[in-house]
Amino acid sequence: MIFSEKQIESIAEMLKSIAHPIRLKILCFLMEGEKNVGEIESEFGSTISNISQHLTVLRKANIINRRKEANFMYYTLKDENVSNLMRTIKINFCSDS
Amino acid sequence: MIFSEKQIESIAEMLKSIAHPIRLKILCFLMEGEKNVGEIESEFGSTISNISQHLTVLRKANIINRRKEANFMYYTLKDENVSNLMRTIKINFCSDS
DNA sequence: ATTATATTTTAGTATTTATTAAAAAGATAA
DNA sequence: TTATCTTTTTAATAAATACTAAAATATAAT
């Protein structure tokens, strides 16, 4: 085993945060670039409260960043590692590119 | 959005199956090649019953295959897509390669 | 100030998932 | 056929997660 117990726990935590239909859709959407909560909400149903809660989960798992501008919150994928992971998922598990 | 709802659901399901410390460790171990339940059990604690249940989760999520030989069950990663995903996780989220 | 807009937080309930222990099933060996 | 070994299944309880609706916060506009 190459990984430490701590590392395993944190990677599992991160994957768990991605492994939800709504959060996965949010992340796919964020691959396009920065979006605010309203934009995310209108892209696919659910309530804005629910979206916000899912964004919190992603943020606590270190998957996304947020930036405040006026009373809007703009979200982005955290870093290249996250982008790489999302791209790999897309390439390997989505029939159409 | 490029993905269909069904595709999203199934990818989320698959990621959820990976997103657990014990299952993640099992998958890392299987990157080395085929292993039976006893080998997996002795590699890291937990009971054999618990391991078996986690293996069932992974198998139902189409992440691993199994093969019977005498009264041993041998498990492997399902395909290249799964290997690619595991490799990406390893490269991007494990400090030491 | 008051109202409106955008987002987050809290609280409650329902659902899902994990863990443990015991029982069962299947294959081999004595 | 009885015993043994490997693995799976079942059942019960505990713990984590998800969803809804309501309340709260913060900024902007009137």
H, E, C per residue of A9-76: HHHHHHHHHHCCHHHHHHHHHHCCCCEEHHHHHHHCCCCHHHHHHHHHHHHHCCCEEEEEECCEEEEE
Per-residue model confidence (pLDDT) at position A47:
94
- The answer to whether A11 contacts B93, with C-beta atoms less than 8 Å apart, is yes
Query: Does a structural domain hold residue B16?
Result: yes
Query: Does a structural domain hold residue A30?
Result: yes
Query: Does a structural domain hold residue B73?
Result: yes
Q: Is the pLDDT of residue B97 over 50?
A: no
Q: Which residues pair with B77 in a beta bridge?
A: B64
**Contact list, B12 vs chain A (CB under 8 Å):** 19-21, 23-24
**Contact list, A80 vs chain B (CB under 8 Å):** 92
What is the DSSP-derived secondary structure letter of residue B92? H
- The answer to whether A15 contacts B11, with C-beta atoms less than 8 Å apart, is no
Q: Which residue of A lies nearest to B30 if distances are taken between CA atoms?
A: A1
Query: Does a structural domain hold residue A89?
Result: no
Domain with A60 in it: 5-80
A60 touches strand D (CB under 7 A): no
Q: B81 near B89, Cβ under 8 Å? A: no
Task: Measure the CA–CA gap between B6 and B13, rounded to whole angstroms.
Answer: 11
Residue range B21-70, pLDDT digits in tens: 999 999 999 999 999 999 999 888 789 999 999 999 999 999 999 999 99
Q: Is the dihedral of CA A54, A56, A57, A63 positive or negative?
A: positive
Per-residue model confidence (pLDDT) at position A95:
79
Tokens describing residue A88: 């790999």
Using pLDDT thresholds of 50, 70 and 90, give the confidence band for residue A1: low
Tell me the CATH number at A65: 1.10.10.10
Query: Does a structural domain hold residue A66?
Result: yes
Per-residue model confidence (pLDDT) at position A89:
97
Task: Measure the CA–CA gap between B68 and B32, rounded to whole angstroms.
Answer: 19
Q: Best of A85, A96, A97 to disrupt the B interface by mutation (most B CBs within 10 Å)? A: A85
Query: How many beta-carbon contacts under 8 Å exist across A and B?
Result: 107
- The answer to whether B15 contacts A95, with C-beta atoms less than 8 Å apart, is no
Per-residue model confidence (pLDDT) at position B93:
94
Task: Please name the residue whose C-alpha is nearest to the C1' of nucleotide D26.
Answer: A71
Per-residue model confidence (pLDDT) at position A44:
82
Q: A15 near B94, Cβ under 8 Å? A: no
Task: Measure the CA–CA gap between A56 and B56, rounded to whole angstroms.
Answer: 31
Q: Which of B3, B84, B89 sits opposite A11 (nearest CB)?
A: B89
Query: Does a structural domain hold residue A86?
Result: no
Average pLDDT, chain A: 93
Q: What does the angle CA B80 – CA B86 – CA B87 come to, to the nearest 5 degrees?
A: 85
From B97's Cα to the closest Cα of chain A, the distance in A is 9
Mean pLDDT for A52-59 is 98
CA separation, residue A71 to residues A38, A66, A67, B24 (Å): 11, 12, 10, 40
Task: State how many domains chain B has.
Answer: 1
Percent of chain A with pLDDT over 90: 85
Mean pLDDT for A66-75 is 96
Query: Does a structural domain hold residue B21?
Result: yes
Query: Does a structural domain hold residue A60?
Result: yes
